[in-house]
Chains A and B, each alone.
Chain A
Amino acid sequence: MLKSYVKPHISKIIVNAIVKMSGTVLEVVLPTILAYIINQVVPTRQVNSIINWGLVMVACALGAWYLNVKANRMASKTAAMTIKDIRHDLFTRSLGLSARQIDRLTVSSLESRLTSDTYAIHRFLGATLRMGIRSSMLFLGGVVFCFILSWRLALVLLVLIPPLLVVVRYILKRGIPLYRQVQVRVDDMVQVIRENIRGIKVSKALDTTEYEKDRYAVANRDVKDAEVAAAYRMSALSPLVNIILYSGLAVVLILGANLVNVGLVQTGTILAFMSYFIQITNSLLGLNRMFNIYNRASASASRISEVLEMPLDINQKQDETYLRALPDPHPSVPEVEFRNVSFSYLGKKLNLEDVSFKLYPGDTLGIMGATGSGKSTIIRLLLRQYDVNSGEILLRGVNIKNLHSEELLSLFGSVFQNDFLYSGTARENIAFGRDLTEEEIIEATKHAQAYDFLNKKHGLDFILASKGVNLSGGQKQRLLLSRALAGDPTILLLDDSSSALDFRTEANLRQAIRANFSNATSIVITQRVSSVRAAREIIFLDEGRVIAQGTHEELLQNCQPYREIAEMQTREGGGSLDYDMSYA
């Protein structure tokens, strides 16, 4: 599956394997040398010879050490380099996935593919190159040497290995799901703790502390029971392996006594056998560990390749033959036009139905409607994050499907609902990887009404925490607006981008945009009538359908929900007395 990543390293891997094998052979040969000393050299009573052979053993031990360390280090290097490439490509591919693909995979799943799945592969690669080769060599070498030393005694091994394998596999097969169960229980327990910390005021207010303790006790006991069940099931593994192994040894000793007596086997051989037995058992346990690592890794590998091999989504494909250059703006050509656009996220019910509008250069379109009525979808479609099911979206008269995606995207400055801020400086968050001068950034913060509050906090060097949690809602929105305005956008897409601003700041913002971005065409999604009052056209959406379309005055006349909201938000009803930090 991920073979192509291993391929460039294949020569290194072969060298690595040879070094590792040589090192292991040097170890495997030791008991045989011992048998040789005792069986052949000692009877000659030549002290020099014994010393020489002893030194050979020492040399083998040192040689094995040297080669194994060398091989292990090569293995670490190869594994690290391979994973680095895999992870990098995976990350790059993840960023390039279409919105639909991301929706289906989910961000948290992608995240675990990039982290725990790549670790699993890393561990597996390292372990194969180190332990895997070693264990198989120890096993094979042990068996081969046993047969060379005495095929009669070696037959005991053949009887022994199958039950060993069966026992180990059986117990692990039944035990491992229980450990997964433990993890599930722990997650449940943590959930109770989190809920309690978050709701501590409520439980204190309602005096339910004792109730919560009982609730936790249940989750706590479940964890314990799961842990105990898993440990109990595994507890037989090591004793059983030992009993099988030593039963084999006892048979070797008894059988050996017979063979020695009739001269078919020498005593030194029995000694070597005992060493090989222990070695073979250990290698079997090692191979089994490899098998488990492999199981996990192959699941991980397929999850990784699923993403890597995911083809470009339809909305990302560009047919060269139809590709057209973007014409210059013209006052008589709509900058943005939706023609009878319908769209569905899941292919079941329509999330947008027959939406049409024309927006000329410099105009503003306001979009209002309840949560889930399809407001944000309009922007997502315009950015081609999704493709329409029917109808057309035109930019200066060209269907956006026929525009080069870089050219299309370079037109927009956008702020999405609860948009993305990341840990880093305010400068980085505004520049967002674009080549912008310091002046351009500062200028943008001024227009976005972010300059003053930033100045109170180290200016552009202010360091944001992850997701901007060290900023108030209004401050976050103003940073995001700075980002959108900084690139001198031709088209501004603002989705709920000023809901946390107090009215005065929002008025200033509108004023700044009017003054400095008079050529920009804007689409503004909002819950506030004041944000769209001056718009050339307002669309009021309900469950994906346009129920009213027109200017503020027209909508006041013929759209009842709009009128209600407008009334509530102005003089008499129940408008919102929200504040922002800047106001205090």
Chain B
Amino acid sequence: MAVLPERDRDKEQPKNYRVIFRRLLSYMKLEKWRFLLGMALVVTANLIAIWGPRFAGEAIDAMGIALGETNFLLAITRSLLMLAAYGGAAVLNFFMVRLVVRAAQNVVERMRQDTFDKIVELPISYIDTHQAGDLVSRISYDLDLVSQSMTHDFVQIAASSITVVGSLIMMMRISFSLSLIFLVILPATVIFTIYRVRKTRPLFRARSKKLGEMNGYVEEILFGQKTIQAYDKEEFFADEFGEVNSDSINAYYKADYQAALNGPSVSLISNLSLALVSLFGSLLFLQGRFSIGNLSSFILYSRRFSGPINEVANIFADLQSSLSAANRVFMLLEQPSEPADNDDAHILTDTRGEVEFKDVSFSYNPEEAVIKNFSFTAKPGQLVAIVGPTGAGKTTIINLLMRFYDPQEGEILIDGYPIRNLSRKSLRRSFAMVLQDTWLFSGTIRENIAYGRPDASLDEVKQAAEAAHIDDFIDSLPQGYDTMLTDEASNLSQGQKQLLTIARAMLLDTPMLILDEATSNVDSHTEIIVQDAMNNLIEGRTSFVIAHRLSTIQNADHILLLVDGEIAEEGTHDELLSKEGAYYNLYQSQFA
């Protein structure tokens, strides 16, 4: 199907982080009280914790240096104050985490719901031109990144900056000259860390990419294992895997090799600080400008330093990717939904089922017209068979009837009403639809049959199943109509799935029917049953059938032979055969 330009637009949109961030903030406002309280707790906790080293130093000073100099009361109170500072901070952090997690999860729940709601409201054209995996990953993967950022990153940035700045201030208050060490170490650390992150990020991206490729290869080749064995080619593919494996191992190693520097470097900064503080602290102490308690506080402060800087550097990189992730979600949310009905839209009731196409032309993309000047009228109750080669526009006719797409030219009328002026809901509800691609969802068989009419009684569901010849099968299941269908109904055969969707259509009792006959993947015996069920369904409805079966075509009141989007020939089976034209040739090649 045509590829519309939306996908490219997603990519080309300049990433204005400020705009994305503001948009994210507007979501976070939903939980602003929890977030604000959480932030207040982080700030308080870290401000309290900063006093810990200070109290520890004072406790040590209270011990004195020489024998018997100890001021016990002071030593004990300062030790307990230290514990109170750290302990208090820990308790506050405990509540903070809970608040922020709850807030972030509430916000993300809302974002997920909005994204999902958008997906089901999008026009079919969007879904047709975008990969399902891409849409799924926006909800699952992208929003997960956003949630992690909301939970950890903002909090961590606040905590780290308070720790770093607060520690620096505390140290300056104790000894300005000794803090000069950190005025050198701090910027050096920041620059080094940023440099490292820049250097390793691309390597880690490359590593994920290579791992992904290897996963893909493994998945693909293992699927063909039996065939590979039949051709006795295990060695060939094992050798081929050798290359893929090497690539992924090398990418992993390269990233690891660079990352091998990170841990030791964080320790180096911490250890260097310790060494320098010890050296210069001792010298100052010797000059009597510095107590041993001061030295102790300094050491504890310096130990708190290197971790946060490293973390913040990583967080900024994380934030970047989660803002990009948020952006992908916002781009999706900005897509226009299926337009609303006109204010004066007519609501279709008591439909007779007369359908008229008037000079309809349609294309998925401007270069290629799919339907050209299509005109045709179906009378109530008629069976219209649409035949023609793949790509001739058969499915498009159905898309237009259901208003999944609107034609560029011409109009379609039902009972004389142009469908553009009908409420979409009433239009679509007047059709029952059985598509080639059977759709069942995880739920019970009963829920699946009653999908269009959740209020249907069990008796009605059973009648529908009977008319679709699937009742015996359902009755044979231990749980009967309450049997759960799981994992895209993988526990059913293709034919059984088809019968279930026929039962679903049966239950709707609509004046019109759209049917896409599918024959592949069903064995001959099942096919006879399916065909009979379909015949039951067609009866009494204006039916549009994309026909594959000769019997359907022979019974049709009207056959449309589509070739390249135009009606090449139309009429009944016999009329068309007697013309000895395109239909005749087709028939001869297929059935004679």
Judge whether B60 and A253 touch: CB under 8 Å: yes
Is A331 among interface residues, defined by CB-CB distance under 8 A?
Answer: no
Chain A residue nearest to B95 (CB atoms) is A235
- Binding site of B, secondary structure by majority: helix, strand, loop or mixed? helix
Cross-chain contact A232 with B63 (CB below 8 angstroms):
no
B119 touches A196 (CB 8 A): yes
Q: Is A97 an interface residue (CB 8 A)?
A: yes
B120 near A34 with CB under 8 A, answer: no
Q: What residues on B are CB-neighbors of A23 within 8 Å?
A: 264
Taking a contact as CB atoms under 8 Å apart, the answer to whether A57 and B431 are in contact is no
CA distance A87 to B282 in the complex (A): 55
| Segment of B96-104, B412-420, B462-470 engaged in the interface with chain A | B96-104
The interface residues of chain B lying within 8 Å CB-to-CB of A258 are 70, 72
Q: Does A156 touch B at the CB level, under 8 Å?
A: no
Check if A581 is an interface residue, CB within 8 A of chain B: yes
Please state if A206 and B429 are interface contacts (CB–CB under 8 Å): yes
Tell whether B389 is near chain A: CB-to-CB under 8 Å: yes
> Interface code A184-198, partner B: CB below 8 Å = 1, 0 otherwise?
001001111111111
Kindly specify which of A42-50, A334-342, A358-366 makes contact with the partner chain: A42-50
Q: Is the interface of A mostly helix, strand, loop or mixed?
A: helix
Q: Nearest chain B CB to A157's CB is how many angstroms away?
A: 17
A238 touches B391 (CB 8 A): no
Whether A257 contacts B550 by the Cβ 8 Å rule is: no
Question: Is there a chain B Cβ closer than 8 Å to A318's Cβ?
Answer: no
Q: A170: CB under 8 A from chain B?
A: no
Interface residues on B, range: 35 or more
Within 456-502 of B, Cβ neighbours of A (below 8 Å) are at: 487-488, 493
Question: Which residues from chain B contact A349 at a C-beta distance below 8 Å?
Answer: none
Contact call B221/A432, Cβ cutoff below 8 A: no
Residue of A with least CB distance to B255? A76
> A58, B249: Cβ atoms under 8 Å?
no
Chain B residues positioned under 8 Å from A261 (CB to CB)? 63-64, 67-70, 72
Query: A60-B275, A76-B253, A576-B549 given as contacts; is B225 within 8 A of A195 (CB)?
Result: no
Question: Is B59 part of the binding interface, using a Cβ–Cβ cutoff of 8 Å?
Answer: yes
* B591 and A571 within 8 A (CB): yes
Residues in B with CB closer than 8 Å to A200 are 120, 122, 124, 127
In this assembly, does B16 line the interface, its C-beta being within 8 Å of a C-beta of chain A? no
Whether a CB of chain B sits under 8 angstroms from the CB of A202 is yes
User: Is the CB–CB distance between B101 and A220 below 8 Å?
Assistant: no
Q: State A385–B232 Cα separation when bound (angstroms).
A: 11
Task: Report yes or no: A246 in contact with B135, Cβ–Cβ below 8 A.
Answer: no
Contact across chains for B528 and A568 when beta carbons are under 8 A apart: yes
- Contact A238 B93, beta carbon cutoff 8 Å: yes
Return chain A residues, CB-CB under 8 Å to B252: 80, 122
How far apart are the CA atoms of A30 and B279 in the complex, in Å?
Answer: 12
Is B286 a contact partner of A50 (Cβ separation < 8 A)? yes
A193→B390 contact, CB < 8 A: no
Q: Which residue of chain B has the shortest Cβ distance to A77 in the bound complex?
A: B253
Instruction: Determine if A488 is an interface residue (Cβ-Cβ < 8 Å).
Output: no
Chain A binder among B17-25, B162-170, B516-524 = B516-524
A310 sits at the interface (CB 8 A): no
B90 contacts chain A at the CB level, 8 A cutoff: yes
B305 to chain A, nearest CB (A): 13
Q: Contact check: which of B79, B272, B278 meets A37 at CB < 8 Å?
A: B278
- Known A243-B87, A412-B230, A504-B589; judge A203-B120 contact (CB<8 A): yes
Interface check B309, CB cutoff 8 A:
no
Which partner residue on chain B sits nearest A216 by CB separation? B116
Q: Which chain A residues lie closer than 8 Å to B197 at the CB level?
A: none
Q: If A60-B271, A206-B451, A253-B56 touch, does A584 touch B390 (CB 8 Å cutoff)?
A: yes
Q: Give chain B residues whose Cβ lies under 8 Å from the Cβ of A148.
A: none
CB neighbours of B90 from chain A (8 A): 238-240, 242-243, 246
- State which of A88-96, A293-301, A441-449 sits at the interface with chain B: A88-96
Q: Within 8 Å of chain A (Cβ to Cβ): is B112?
A: yes
Question: Which of A55, A243, A257 contacts B70 (CB under 8 A)?
Answer: A257
Q: Cβ of A322 < 8 Å from any Cβ of B?
A: no
Report whether A197 and B127 are in contact in the complex, using a CB–CB cutoff of 8 Å.
yes
The answer to whether residues A91 and B296 also contact, given A34-B274, A574-B552 and a CB cut-off of 8 A, is no
* Least Cβ–Cβ distance between B219 and chain A, in angstroms: 5
Confirm or deny: A377 has a beta carbon within 8 angstroms of a beta carbon on chain B: no
Binds A, one of B6-14, B210-218, B375-383: B210-218
- The answer to whether B271 and A197 touch across the interface, beta carbons within 8 angstroms, is no
A95 near B237 with CB under 8 A, answer yes
Contact A581 B390 (CB under 8 A): yes
The 8 Å CB contact of A247, one of B83, B224, B263, is B83
Which one of B124, B292, B404 has the greatest number of beta carbons of chain A within 10 Å?
B292
Q: Verify A573–B222 contact, CB threshold 8 A.
A: no
- Among the stretches B186-194, B348-356, B433-441, the one at the interface with A is B433-441
Q: In the complex, A492 Cα to B586 Cα: how many Å?
A: 31
Given contacts A57-B278, A201-B435, A385-B229, contact A209 B76 (CB under 8 A): no
A41 on the B face (CB < 8 A) = yes
Interface string of B221-241 (1 = CB under 8 A from A): 111111111111110111011
B-facing residues in A82-105 (Cβ within 8 Å): 83-84, 87-88, 91-92, 94-97, 99, 102
Interface check A391, CB cutoff 8 A: no
Answer whether A111 and B299 are a contact pair too, CB < 8 Å, given A58-B272, A257-B59: no
B421 is an interface residue with CB less than 8 A from chain A:
no
Is there a chain A Cβ closer than 8 Å to B132's Cβ?
Answer: yes
Q: How far, in angstroms, from A110 to B260 measured CA to CA in the complex? A: 31
**Alpha-carbon separation in the docked complex, A247 to B263 (Å):** 28
B177 at the interface (CB under 8 A from A): no
Complexed CA–CA distance, A68 and B531 (Å)? 73
Q: How far is the CA of A491 from the CA of B472 in the complex (A)?
A: 43
Task: Report whether B70 and A579 are in contact in the complex, using a CB–CB cutoff of 8 Å.
Answer: no
Contacts of A199 in B (CB 8 A): 439, 441
Asked if B525 and A370 sit within 8 Å, CB to CB, the answer is: yes
Residue contact B590 to A406, C-beta cutoff 8 Å: no
Q: Does B279 contact A94, Cβ atoms closer than 8 Å?
A: no
B97 touches A253 (CB 8 A): no
CB nearest neighbor in A for B387:
A577
A193 lies within 8 A of B135 (CB)? yes
Taking CB atoms, residues of chain A closer than 8 Å to B109 are 220-221, 223-224
Q: Which residues of chain A are within 8 angstroms of B313 by Cβ–Cβ distance?
A: none
Residues of A within 8 A of B402 (CB): 201, 204-205
Which residue of A211, A257, A410 is within 8 Å of B454 (Cβ)?
A211
Query: Which residues of chain B have C-beta atoms less than 8 A from A256's C-beta?
Result: 63
Which residue of A62, A72, A414, A565 is within 8 Å of B268 (Cβ)? A62
- Choose among A53, A69, A253, A561 the residue that contacts B264 (Cβ–Cβ < 8 A): A69
Query: Does B575 belong to the interface (CB within 8 Å)?
Result: no
A87 to B252, CA, bound (A): 14
Q: In whole angstroms, what is the CA distance A581 to B257 when docked?
A: 52
Residues on the A chain within 8 Å of B220, using CB: 422-423, 466-467
B113 CB contacts on chain A under 8 angstroms: 213, 216-217, 220
Whether A253 lies near B268 (C-beta < 8 A) is no
What 1/0 flags go to A221-247 for Cβ under 8 Å of B? 101100110011001101110110011
Chain A contacts of B63 at CB under 8 A?
Answer: 256-257, 260-261, 267, 270
A575 — which chain B residues lie within 8 A by C-beta? 549-550, 590-591
A47 close to B97 (CB less than 8 A): no
CA distance A254 to B117 in the complex (A): 61
Whether B80 sits at the interface, judged by CB under 8 Å, is yes
Is A205 a contact partner of B433 (Cβ separation < 8 A)?
A: yes
In the complex formed, the residue of B with least CB distance to A382 is B230
A33 to B295, CA, bound (A): 14
Q: How far is the CB of A245 from chain B (nearest CB, A)?
A: 8
Known contacts A242-B90, A257-B59: A95-B223 contact under CB 8 Å? no
Cross-chain contact A573 with B271 (CB below 8 angstroms): no
12 additional A-B residue pairs with CB within 8 Å, beyond A77-B257, A414-B227, A416-B226: A50-B279, A64-B264, A65-B267, A84-B249, A95-B228, A194-B132, A197-B119, A201-B435, A205-B428, A208-B452, A433-B240, A575-B590
A-B contact pairs, 17 of them (CB 8 A): A37-B278, A50-B279, A58-B272, A107-B222, A111-B222, A119-B211, A193-B139, A193-B140, A199-B441, A200-B127, A243-B86, A249-B83, A267-B63, A267-B292, A409-B231, A423-B220, A581-B391
